Structure 1
Amino acid sequence: MNDIHDVAVIGAGSAGLQAAQTLGRMHQRTLVLGTDRYRNDPTGHMHNFLGHDGAPPAELRTAARKDAEAYDDVELRDAEVVRISGGLGDFVLELAGEEPVRARRVLLASGVRDTLPDVPGVAEEFGDLVAHCPFCHGHEFAGTRVGILGSAPHVAAMASMVGPIAREVVVLAHGGELDDATTASLARLGVPVVAGAVTAVHREGEGLLVDVAGSEPVALGGLFVKTDWALAAPHAGQLGLELSETGAVVVDAFGRTSVPGVYAAGDMAQGPGLPMPMASVLVAAAGGLVAAAACVQDAALARIA
């Protein structure tokens, strides 16, 4: 317990691994603590990432780990952090089944966890024919009939975004009531609404067949759903970090949280002016770089203060 790292990075996804590489290049003694659970595990291919379009997420992580481990000051350890205490200059990280470790600063990149709509078949197809982000998966549904599950106001904006990609868009209201503004917007777009509850989603050929109570099954090339998400780890609460209305960790433009010495990056972090975190592998990696740079800068300024 007497040994202390300059920075402990919690999470070994794109944000955490990019942060590790940045810190390693600046000769900061860095410990990366991560598990084998990642938000994009369900998908076989990631998209909209410069130079890696269509690559499996695990392939990117493997390459990123190799890059980070090439720096002498970076140590990657497969371990789960169960609790973080202390403050700037001496944080204590308790690990599952291992001795605690210490760090002067902490960079959280542990991500979020999705909860899918409770519809049979959605979980099985999520990440492929069922998706939640048109920027990540919309092009793959091009030229097909695309469904949007739900009745909340977001379905109109989603239908408008997906319209140029799809041959046809249909909203599956899943038994919910659309408000007047959403109904009017969908009517202007020429998007039909299927009112009944969706009872099951299953693969048929290269697409989906959606069973709807009181209606004929709806054939689709792909389906967009809205997930509920929450922070994947309890550390924000343990450290007393400020959270946004969406439940994300509030950060400034450099990834600094409301607690000195604690930084956050990736899907769990919400920057200034954003209504929610920008859930993207590329944005997460960029956030990891910026937060790591802030760690280095803050430490340097503290030494000359």
Structure 2
Amino acid sequence: MRDVIIIGAGPAGLQAALTLGRMHRTALLVDSGAYRNGTVRHMHNVIANDGTPPADFRRVAREQLDGYATVEALAGTVDQVESVDGGFGVTFEDGRTESASRLLLATGMADELPDIEGLASLWGLRAFSCPFCDGHEFAGRRIGLVGESSRFEHLVRLLRPIAAEIVVFDGEALEDGQRLSLQEAGAAIHPGRASAVAEHGDGVRVTAGEAVDVAGLFVATGPARQRAPFAAQLGLTMLPSGAIEIDDFGRTSRPGVWAAGDIAHRASLPGAMASVLAAAAAGQLAAASVVQELAG
């Protein structure tokens, strides 16, 4: 039985594996090949890796993990997690089973996109949700905003110093107070609902009763959902954000189970920051906590 199974090989899982490997703890890193930023061409706001393709980041991380004999990386998808004598067992979709005394979940969240034709194909390419990650690339240009109207004003205020103009679509669905607040924040209100979007030149054409061209889109998404069913299978305490509740060291409500990355956050925070650096830091902290517990 290994010390730890890490499910998820994004930045949180990769960093957790590195930390465990450096402490000579046996760890299995399970990589399903599905990542929240899987469609993104370049990462941003990651010091020393600003502009690096996420796939390159993962490749280098995996190459570095190869230098640690106690860490094994395995491609596959886990279907079931359950308690077994002395720890936890995981069952893969092909029927294979593995076990460890501790479990670290780093499977990440999945975004729920509004029902707009063509949006899914632009996601991570010309349509984004995080101004910290992707706003600068549209500096001095026109940005479109679609999605959950309750989050429009927050995004407008974040993007206002960056964009030349911010166009909020579906203005007719806004309440008078929302419309006034958005205008005061510096947004232009377009009355038409965005029914379709498509790449057009070096930007995006939005169909909203008429064609409107913008450099890119920001999507005010609703609460993200758990990408994997393991929190429910383990009966973990959840937060209103849809994330797993953890303590300051990444421990969940179930002894022996940690969670790291955007899948989890402390109850004192409104949500987890969808950030490569924040996820890696959470993975490092959770892994260090596991090591401390294993050391007794």
TM-score range, shorter chain: over 0.9
Structure 2 match to 1:188: 184
1:7-26 → structure 2 map (5 Å cutoff): 7-26=4-23
What TM-score, normalized by structure 1, do the two folds share?
0.93
* Number of residue-to-residue matches in the alignment: 295
Alpha-carbon distance, 1:204 to partner? 1.8
Q: Which amino acid aligns with 1:231?
A: Q
Matched residue SS, 1:284: helix
1:292 aligns with 2:262: no
Q: Which runs of 5+ in 2 are unaligned?
A: none
> Which residue among 232, 249, 273 is the counterpart of 1:254?
249
Cα deviation, residue 218, structure 1: 1.6
Return the TM-score normalized by structure 2.
0.95
What per-residue deviation string (whole Å, max 9, x for no partner) do you get for residues 137-190 of structure 1? 10011110111113522101111110100011111126523361x223222223
State the shift of 1:37 in Å: 1.1
1:200 corresponding residue in structure 2: 196
Tell which deviates more after alignment, 84-93 or 120-129: 84-93
- Per the alignment, residue 165 of structure 2 pairs with 168
Shift, 1:299, TM fit: 1.6
* Paired position in structure 1 for 2:226: 231
Q: CA deviation at 1:279?
A: 0.7
- Rounded to whole Å, the distance in 2 between the matches of 1:299 and 1:88 is 16
Change (3 A) 1:208 1:69: same
Structure 2 residue 93 is the aligned partner of structure 1 residue 93: no
Contact (CA 8 Å) 2:171, 2:179: kept in 1 or not?
no
Take 2:292 and 2:22, find their aligned partners in 1: how far apart are those partners? 13
Q: Which runs of 5 or more structure 1 residues have no equivalent in the other structure?
A: none
Residue 211 (str. 1) matches residue 207 (str. 2): yes
Q: CA distance change for structure 1 residues 88 and 218 in 2, over 3 Å: closer, same or farther?
A: farther
Which AA in structure 1 matches 2:288? A
Deviation of 1:121 after TM superposition, in Å, equals 1.8
1:67 to 40, 64, 87: 64
Distance in 2 (alpha carbons) for counterparts of 1:90 and 1:169: 52
| Counterpart secondary structure, 2:110 | strand
Letter in 2 for 1:67: Q
2:140 to 139, 143, 146: 143
Residue 221 of structure 1 aligns with an amino acid whose one-letter code is A
CA distance in 2, matches of 1:158, 1:197: 18
**Aligned partners of 1:32 and 1:76 also within 8 Å:** yes
| Residue identity in the other structure for 1:26 | M
Cα distance, 1:87 vs. partner?
6.0
Pairing partner for 2:81 from 60, 80, 84: 84
Q: Distance in 1 between matches of 2:53 and 2:112?
A: 22
**1:10–1:109 Cα contact (<8 Å) kept:** yes
1:117 equivalent in alignment to 2:114: yes
The aligned counterpart of 1:38 is 35
| Partner Cα distance (2:257, 2:139) in 1 | 42
Q: Quote the Cα distance in structure 1 between the aligned partners of 2:131 and 2:206.
A: 19
User: Which residue number in structure 1 is paired with residue 264 of structure 2?
Assistant: 269
**2: CA distance, partners of 1:178 / 1:130:** 25
The share of aligned pairs that are identical, in percent, is 44
User: CA contact under 8 A between 1:46 and 1:55: conserved in structure 2?
Assistant: yes
Range moving further from structure 2, 103-112 or 263-272: 263-272
Q: Which contiguous aligned blocks of 4+ residues in structure 1 show a shift greater than 4 angstroms?
A: none
Please state if 1:220 is matched with 2:214.
yes
Distance change in 2, residues 1:97/1:48 (3 Å): same
> Contact conserved, 2:156 with 2:186, CA < 8 A, in 1?
no
